[in-house]
């Protein structure tokens, strides 16, 4: 049975993110539904903001604006008035309380799980890409189970290489269970050991060791997901069972190339993206119906167009590859997201938003869909929608530093200095956490550097910028963002040097130079004006 309850005349179905009153049905975002469910478990009780945030976003630092947005959305859904409330009352300086009648009982929390990056136990220790891919595939299977909340890949993979036990990790991620595992691959044999641990007390609920041929890897991943559901006493619906059993490709060799490509893609560097494109292309050459590989190729081409020269051939590749992915599987969220980004490159923003909207509906947990939806909304000049999309991206993946750091500039443009500062402070905290385990992440360094400079910590910002340059001295995006930091810090000659090097390295985004507020201190310089005149796109 679905968990349902009533608030006044409304029947609330939190598992379906909706509520009904007569013939009227109102859909809610998942976290908004969770806020309502938590209020309904404590009817009439004044609940402090920190208590609600801790229950709905456990182990995650989110600002009060996220809760204010959720309450506002609930009031819109109920047709409630904050000044004369009938459903949710604001208690000044204390919190909120649900004053409407609740019947049927408040819903009990559902199960939640984090899948950690699997350890590489192979003799040569050269299978990290394969271990990550298996864990990522299991995450993909588990998110198809409606009653199970699954921590996003970036959040759970942030603990790679750390020695914390499952209980501590579970507390940090705010999940009830942790799935840990190891992989040993030798020739055409694969041995996978997994264990499901309860975060509360460290009890192992289920464990298994699979010793199979490499060609059976999809069956193993399927079996692990079903075993987790069984251990958590979750009965799979026929639709969920079918979705879990659907393998991404029929060819193990194509799958291996795809996993190698994903490892390169997550580097977010031009050279890594070029390697990823090669791997995805080989996967498609082996299996021409491999939808994820086609979408991956489109994403690589889009990245190269945006950040490595603005070459028209990359835009055309992104267009063709994303279209092919959609033709192969119209129900693929990844394909729709890739298509949305490709459409944005050609400035067809209406279609881009439509594709990204579809991607978020098909997979509300797909971070990239929300993130690029925000980028497209910004390009269209809809700043209010931009921050909503960035906030959704932050909700889906609280361990990402990009969304809060980019949202900060939009908050500032909207005149909300407090939220801008809060977003920057959150972003640099996440970036620092990322850099402790990945000190070569130049993107975290240069984006964090910009935030430090905007927060008044100019010397720290310049130091992070220098570190980013030391890692990737010829990367156009590094050079451009370092120029922004230098300009904010008043180092105008250094900023112009970095901009000129960025253009020589392949950056040709004329619009960025003309409109980026970070570069305002350079606008009166003859060197700057000459540089802009030399760009043609």
Query: Greater confidence, 268 or 12?
Result: 12
Determine the pLDDT at residue 106.
58
Determine the pLDDT at residue 2.
42
- Percent of the chain beyond pLDDT 90? 56
Which of 34-48, 146-160, 294-308 bottoms out in mean pLDDT, i.e. has the lowest?
146-160
The domain defined by 111-247 folds into Rossmann fold (3.40.50)
Please give the average per-residue pLDDT across 505-534, as a whole number. 86
CA distance 404 to 399: 10
Determine the pLDDT at residue 59.
59
Task: Give the up-direction half-sphere exposure of residue 491: CA atoms within 13 A in the CB hemisphere.
Answer: 17
Residue matched to tokens 């009830």: 176
Those residues whose C-beta lies under 8 Å from the C-beta of residue 72, and which sit 6 or more positions away, are none
Query: Greater confidence, 323 or 147?
Result: 323
Residue 445 has pLDDT above 60, yes or no: yes
The bridge status of strand 177-186 relative to strand 111-115 is parallel
Determine the pLDDT at residue 169.
87
Those residues whose C-beta lies under 8 Å from the C-beta of residue 533, and which sit 6 or more positions away, are none
| pLDDT-based confidence at residue 283 (cuts at 50, 70, 90) | very high
Which conformational region is residue 8 in: left (phi greater than 0), alpha (psi within -120 to 50 degrees), or beta? left
Q: Which CATH class is domain 5-103?
A: mainly alpha
Specify whether the CB–CB gap between 170 and 56 falls below 8 A: no
CA dihedral 197, 2, 80, 73 (to 10 degrees): 50
Specify whether the CB–CB gap between 318 and 302 falls below 8 A: yes
CATH 1.25.40.10 in the chain, residue ranges: 440-537
Quick: pLDDT tens for 297-311. 999 999 998 877 668
Residue 255 has pLDDT above 90, yes or no: yes
SS (H, E, C) 225-289: HHHHHHHCCCCCCHHHHHHHCCCCCCCHHHHHHHHHHHHHHCCCCHHHHHHHHHHHHHHHHHCCC
* CATH code for residues 440-537: 1.25.40.10
Determine the pLDDT at residue 75.
94
Mean pLDDT in the chain? Answer: 89
CA distance 175 to 137: 19
Determine the pLDDT at residue 5.
84
Please give the average per-residue pLDDT across 205-224, as a whole number. 93
Residue 481 has pLDDT above 90, yes or no: yes
Is this structure's pTM higher than 0.75?
Answer: no
Residue 537 has pLDDT above 60, yes or no: no
Q: What are the backbone angles phi and psi of residue 19, rounded to the nearest 5°?
A: -145, 155
| Residues 483-493: b if buried by 16+ CB within 10 A, e if exposed | bbbbbbbebbe
CATH 1.10.10.10 in the chain, residue ranges: 5-103
CATH 3.40.50.10070 in the chain, residue ranges: 111-247
Please give the average per-residue pLDDT across 375-379, as a whole number. 90
| pLDDT-based confidence at residue 3 (cuts at 50, 70, 90) | low
| pLDDT-based confidence at residue 457 (cuts at 50, 70, 90) | very high
């Amino acid at each position: 049975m679905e968990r349902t309850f009533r608030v006044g005349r409304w029947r609330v179905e939190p598992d379906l993110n909706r509520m009904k009153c007569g013939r009227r049905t109102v859909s809610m975002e998942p976290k908004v539904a969770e806020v309502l469910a938590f209020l309904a478990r404590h009817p009439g009780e004044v609940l402090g903001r920190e208590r609600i945030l801790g229950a709905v976003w456990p182990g995650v630092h989110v600002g009060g604006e996220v809760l204010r947005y959720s309450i506002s959305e609930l009031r819109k859904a109920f047709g409630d008035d904050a000044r004369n409330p009938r459903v949710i009352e604001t208690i000044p300086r204390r919190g909120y309380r649900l004053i409407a009648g609740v019947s049927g009982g408040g819903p009990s929390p559902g199960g939640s799980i984090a899948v950690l990056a699997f350890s590489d136990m192979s003799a040569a220790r050269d299978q990290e890409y394969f271990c990550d891919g298996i864990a990522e595939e299991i995450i993909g299977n588990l998110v198809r189970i409606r009653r199970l909340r699954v921590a996003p890949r970036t959040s759970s993979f942030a603990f790679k290489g750390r020695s914390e036990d499952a209980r501590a990790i579970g507390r940090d991620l705010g999940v009830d269970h942790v799935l840990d595992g190891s992989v040993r691959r030798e020739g055409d044999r694969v041995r996978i050991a997994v264990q499901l641990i309860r975060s509360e007390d460290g009890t192992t609920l289920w464990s298994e060791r699979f010793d199979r041929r490499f060609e059976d890897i999809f069956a193993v991943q399927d079996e692990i997901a079903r075993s987790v559901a069984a251990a958590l006493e979750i009965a799979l619906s026929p639709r969920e069972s079918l979705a879990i059993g659907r393998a991404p490709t029929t060819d193990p060799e194509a799958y291996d190339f795809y996993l190698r490509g994903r490892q390169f893609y997550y580097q977010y560097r031009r050279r890594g993206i070029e390697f990823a494109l090669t791997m995805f292309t080989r996967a498609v050459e082996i299996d021409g119906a491999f939808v994820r590989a086609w979408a991956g190729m489109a994403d690589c081409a889009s990245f190269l167009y945006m950040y490595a020269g603005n070459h028209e051939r990359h835009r055309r590749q992104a267009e063709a590859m994303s279209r092919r992915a959609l033709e192969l599987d119209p129900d693929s969220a990844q394909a729709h997201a890739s298509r949305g980004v490709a459409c944005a490159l050609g400035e067809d923003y209406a279609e881009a938003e439509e594709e990204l909207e579809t991607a978020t509906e098909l997979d509300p947990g797909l971070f990239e869909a929300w993130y690029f939806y925000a980028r497209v909304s910004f390009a269209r000049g809809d700043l209010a929608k931009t921050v909503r999309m960035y906030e959704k991206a932050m909700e889906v993946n609280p361990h990402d530093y990009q969304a809060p750091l980019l949202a900060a500039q939009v908050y500032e443009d909207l005149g909300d200095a407090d939220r801008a500062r809060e977003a920057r402070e959150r972003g640099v905290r996440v970036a620092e956490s990322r850099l402790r385990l990945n000190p070569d992440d130049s993107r975290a360094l240069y984006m964090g550097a910009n935030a430090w400079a905007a927060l008044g910590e100019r010397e720290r910002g310049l130091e992070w910028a220098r570190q980013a340059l030391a890692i990737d001295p010829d990367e156009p995006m590094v050079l451009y963002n370092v120029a922004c930091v230098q300009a904010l810090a008043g180092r105008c000659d250094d900023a112009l040097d970095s901009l000129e090097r960025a253009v020589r390295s392949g950056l040709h985004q004329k619009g960025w130079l003309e409109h980026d507020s970070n570069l305002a201190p350079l606008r009166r310089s003859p060197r700057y004006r000459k540089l802009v005149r030399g760009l043609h796109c």
